[in-house]
Chains A and B, each alone.
Chain A
Amino acid sequence: MSLTDRDKATVRTFWAKVAGNTEAVGTNALSRMLTVYPQTKTYFAHWKDLGPGSINVRKHGKTVVDGIGAAVMKIDDLQKGLLSLSELHAFQLRVDPTNFKILNHCILVVLAITFPAEFTPEAHVAVDKFLAAVALALSDKYR
């Protein structure tokens, strides 16, 4: 399900709204994921505090959403653009790729809450496709 030019334009426009808000969106999505899908906590056993106020969750939420923002800039060649992140996830982090879908869903929920008017079905499908493409690029080096 490749990204059309229209998808890319929609994503760029919509993500510009997220740009100023990356820590809030990221923290919300990540902490939500840890609560709603407790199996994801297994990747964060090294953090003492997994609550939403936790400094680790806030910092990491921002890191992840900033990473997605960087991916928007590379939307024309995600595989190439996300190569080093893919290697990181494949060889060091070894996050099961199912979890990318789980986090993506939580990001979409946060976008719906944060931008109820702008997160139209049209924006939703473009962002969903984009996040799926990011997940695919991130898992590229897995095997």
Chain B
Amino acid sequence: MVEWTDFERQTIADIFGKIDYETVGAAALSRCLIVYPWTQRYFGNFGNLYNASAIKINPMIAKHGTTIVHGLDRAWKNLDNIKDAYTELSILHSETIHVDPDNFRLFSDCLTITLAAQMGAEFNADVQAVVQKFLTVVVNALGKQYH
């Protein structure tokens, strides 16, 4: 089980309490598809992904980005048992969507950078460390049911 300090719990709660899920989700997912274009392989039915401009205004991508960031809710609301909280999603990504788990790391990096741009100087090293730890734990949990 992962140990979380009071500072870590507070920081995570603060961030998810104040971000706009639509803005952050759309920005993070579109950034991921632009910066790591091979991730587009999972979005064949999502309409026009022809170039960065198209990706940025694609409403299906924006909506899905929001869904993904909401997918993090079950982590910060269950910090003491993230592994079990993600069993269902892990099986889904492995057996239904067949997503290479390395993509979770790529998305996490883009989400980190999106949060940094949103939060500015407030996204200091200690906050980044918390976010990095949180996302690493989630990524591990999402990969747990792959075999």
Contacts and interface: CB of A to CB of B under 8 A. Distances in A.
A55 interface: no
B117 interface: yes
A72 to B, nearest CB: 19
A32 B121 CA distance: 12
B22 interface: no
B126 A35 contact: yes
- B interface, how many residues as a size bin? 20 to 34
Task: Give the dominant DSSP class at B's interface.
Answer: helix
A128 B109 CA distance: 12
A36 B121 contact: no
A109 interface: yes
Contact of B129 (A35, A52, A112, A125): A35
Interface stretch (A11-19, A62-70, A83-91, A114-122): A114-122
B35 A124 contact: yes
Task: Give the dominant DSSP class at A's interface.
Answer: helix
B132 A36 contact: yes
B24 interface: no
B34 A109 contact: no
A112 B116 contact: yes
B129 to A, nearest CB: 4
Contacts of A124: 31, 34-35, 113
A114 to B, nearest CB: 9
B114 to A, nearest CB: 8
A125 B34 contact: yes
Contacts, number: 53
B8 to A, nearest CB: 13
A105 interface: yes
A113 B127 CA distance: 13
Contacts of A122: 34, 52
A109 B35 contact: no
A108 interface: yes
Contacts of A121: 30-31, 34-35, 52, 55-56
A109 B129 contact: no
B30 A105 contact: no
Given A35-B125, A113-B123, A121-B56, 11 more contacts: A31-B125, A32-B128, A34-B125, A35-B129, A37-B132, A109-B113, A109-B116, A109-B128, A113-B117, A121-B30, A128-B35
22 contacts: A36-B128, A36-B132, A37-B132, A105-B109, A109-B116, A109-B123, A109-B128, A112-B117, A113-B120, A113-B123, A116-B117, A116-B120, A121-B30, A121-B31, A121-B35, A121-B52, A121-B56, A122-B34, A124-B31, A125-B34, A125-B35, A128-B35
